[in-house]
Amino acid sequence: MPEGFYPDVFKELRSLGYELSKGGKGSHEKWSKPRKPRPILVPFNLVSRHTANAILKDAGSTKKF
């Protein structure tokens, strides 16, 4: 099971309307949102607070860790 900030980022992306897409490589997942041209890549082993905040910022969230 993934540890670190992954579960929190997962919940926040779901609440923002993102959906899990196919095609993530290695230890990453690809998340996409309708009408958003670029997908967001999220690693399973998301242990860095700074990386988690950057992912949420790219997704348009105001949440911070």
Q: What is the domain-level CATH number for residue 34?
A: 3.30.920.30
Residue 65 within any structural domain of the chain: no
One DSSP character per residue, the chain reads ---TTHHHHHHHHHHTT-EEES---TTEEEEE-TT-SS-EEEESS---HHHHHHHHHHHT-----
Instruction: Summarize the confidence of residues 56-64 as an average pLDDT.
Output: 94
pTM, rounded to two decimals: 0.86
**Mean pLDDT along residues 13-42:** 90
pLDDT averaged over every residue in the chain: 90
pLDDT over threshold 90, residue 23: no
Q: Note down the domain range covering 50.
A: 6-59
Q: What average pLDDT does the segment 22-45 reach?
A: 88
Residue 64 lies in a domain: no
Identify the band that residue 1 occupies on the pLDDT scale cut at 50, 70 and 90: low
Q: What is the number of structural domains in the chain?
A: 1
Query: Over 70: is that where the pLDDT of 2 sits?
Result: no
